[in-house]
A and B are shown apart, each in its own frame.
Chain A
């Protein structure tokens, strides 16, 4: 049993959540698009012209079997079972949710994780893999402050999660001045099996201080890896949040997102720089201008991946470029 989530690009704050029974041997994605096509009737043109975006889809069989076995059949309405737990339903019986598709996907991911449903595994691009190995090797050599200048479309949110998972740090703090980036982190870090044991905590959406603090503490007590989202926009509570997070006696990874934008300013970076402990790993992630990002940090390792490097890997995968033709000492 599969569930899917789509929305119209012209109205990203409402989304449709539905289900599709996929038989053995069928391609789930194809079947889901068929179902969407059926459901929109004569407006199939919206699919053809790209107006409809499939935000996410999930195999929910395990959840259905364990929580609502009588629904685990064609047209069994597992989607209604899930939507009942999510809420934000438009009307009382509708299949539309009055929620941004990204947020809806995060809520479904969280529900599936709680229910024990296996999530899909995420594979990395060669560039992501190499960059992760590069940084983790540097960390092994006691490097602690890294500028990672990663081009557009590199996939830095998943990559940040890879570092947290592989390094097995107890707490990862994602700090950013650009708050929209938190939504991407939350979606990616809740979507895949490898991140299943992550507990995501937003210090901003929980206005009650004790709530997010106790959520972190409970997760740490349960030996889960905690990912905390910390807004670097100025505010009266920012410093107390930083103090709390950096005074926890745990292994820590700080991911500064869009490190050349806002957070590079002294007023933004100084509280973090002063709070970090000597063994904390700091990754200053930026698309460009690594030197700007690095200007106030004690940088001891630098990594850069440019967009043409992504194309080079694409060509290698397509068999159109042979790295060994140029290579002198084997592939890194």
Chain B
């Protein structure tokens, strides 16, 4: 193995890494309580579906819900200890940060801040938003506000909808609240990192997902599964479950309950991510599309097998299409389409992952065996598969087990977790 000529490992550097703990907090009880006063809260077209985006769209309407949530979380009011963050984390939230949905309008921000201030009278609420504020200026502003609050013995809650999610280093932040429904994995990781700026020795960053439906909440799963994949590769472990075990052993995930935070163990974690389909969504979200050409990604996004075959033939002939001269003439519109294609391709991959049991249980042996049997059984069964998945049988097969010597698009280690628990 290669070694560096001029550098050595200094183990003391690892002491600078701030420990992190993840918590899932279930907001169902505050929603129910708020709905007793406001029956049509979170109801659209007769359908009751609570979400953070609905809250920020009409903050005044959901004022009771937000006040109850903040008071339960930060002050332990309302009699539900499952929401009392100090009780759950065993750490007082002196300086916290909360990220609301990116869809929060600047015009609504003052109202949201005013509701928060009304709810938490002992806190200094520091909003980070607005056209005049920049990332750089927000950091200095927040530092000043924290200093003032500390002098007045006040706790601080920084509220943002997206600003200050990168290059924003406030060492005092220990509690980070994710108050949005779902989002881009990258942005979520950036947001989480705001609680990981080193401070005093022994600092722990507590990341709390405020969730209306913990079973659908996959904010932590991407980072956990990606870490397991890397650990698997870097430590040359053949079984992803073993890697996942090492990750779960190191990075604690807790379910917040009335009796206190309960650590989720590996078997329960696996069970949860499979049952809740979170694993399938994550397989789509973190599929490594870097190694595919734009044409291949477009073909996957469109569910078009023949275009995928054509795109792969070009790759086989020219090396990576990305290296081909055509990429030098990309127009801005082509570039945006490519971003759209990436999103669409990820959705197709998640859908295939979600329904892959249908294929697996055809042979009940392996995905390869199932495809072999379905190939033999002919067009009728392949049409059934197409109807179930919404994309062609050949594309599903190519994406799942590879095609003509090219590797599968779906991460088989992650996919196989579903069948080898």
Binding site for B on A (CB under 8 A): 9-10, 49-51, 122-126, 128-130, 132-133, 136-137, 140, 147, 151-153, 155, 162, 165-166, 178, 180-181, 194, 258, 260-261, 265-267, 270, 273-274, 287-292, 294-300, 302, 304-315, 317-318, 321, 323, 326-332
Contact = CB atoms under 8 A, between A and B. Distances in A.
Contacts of A260: 186
A51 B148 CA distance: 12
A132 B4 contact: yes
Contact of A299 (B12, B192, B243, B322): B322
A308 B322 contact: no
A298 B10 contact: no
Leading 10 A-B pairs by shortest Cβ distance: A123-B10, A288-B186, A152-B193, A289-B186, A298-B322, A314-B14, A298-B323, A329-B236, A308-B227, A125-B13
B77 interface: no
A123 B7 contact: yes
A285 B197 CA distance: 19
Interface centre among B1, B20, B234, B342 (most CB of A within 10 A): B234
A327 B236 contact: yes
B342 A295 contact: yes
Given A129-B7, A151-B193, A332-B235, A140 B2 contact: yes
Question: Is chain B's interface secondary structure helix, strand, loop, or mixed overall?
Answer: helix
B9 A124 contact: yes
A300 B251 contact: no
Interface of B: 1-20, 136, 143-144, 147, 150, 166-167, 171, 184-187, 189-190, 192-193, 196-200, 223-224, 226-227, 230-231, 234-238, 242-243, 245-247, 249-251, 288-291, 320, 322-323, 327-328, 330, 332, 335, 338-339, 342
B320 A300 contact: yes
Contact of A317 (B14, B184, B335, B338): B14
Contacts, number: 202
Contacts of B20: 307-308, 311
A136 B18 CA distance: 28
A324 B360 CA distance: 33
B72 to A, nearest CB: 29
A274 B186 contact: no
Contacts of A261: 166
Interface centre among A165, A260, A266 (most CB of B within 10 A): A266
Nearest to A312: B250
A227 B6 CA distance: 18
A291 B290 contact: yes
Contacts of A155: 13
Given A140-B2, A162-B4, A290 B136 contact: no
B227 A162 contact: no
A282 to B, nearest CB: 12
A288 B7 contact: no
Contact of A287 (B3, B190, B250): B190
A328 B189 contact: no
Given A123-B7, A132-B4, A298-B327, A323 B235 contact: yes
B23 to A, nearest CB: 15
A298 to B, nearest CB: 4
B8 A124 contact: yes
A54 to B, nearest CB: 13
Contacts of B19: 311, 314
A140 B13 CA distance: 28
B14 A310 contact: yes
A126 B197 CA distance: 19
Contact of A312 (B196, B247, B290): B247
Contact of B320 (A291, A298, A309, A327): A298
B230 A305 contact: yes
A315 B245 contact: no
Nearest to A147: B290
Contacts of A288: 185-187, 189-190
A123 B231 contact: no
A166 B6 contact: yes
Given A140-B2, A288-B189, A296-B327, A50 B200 contact: yes
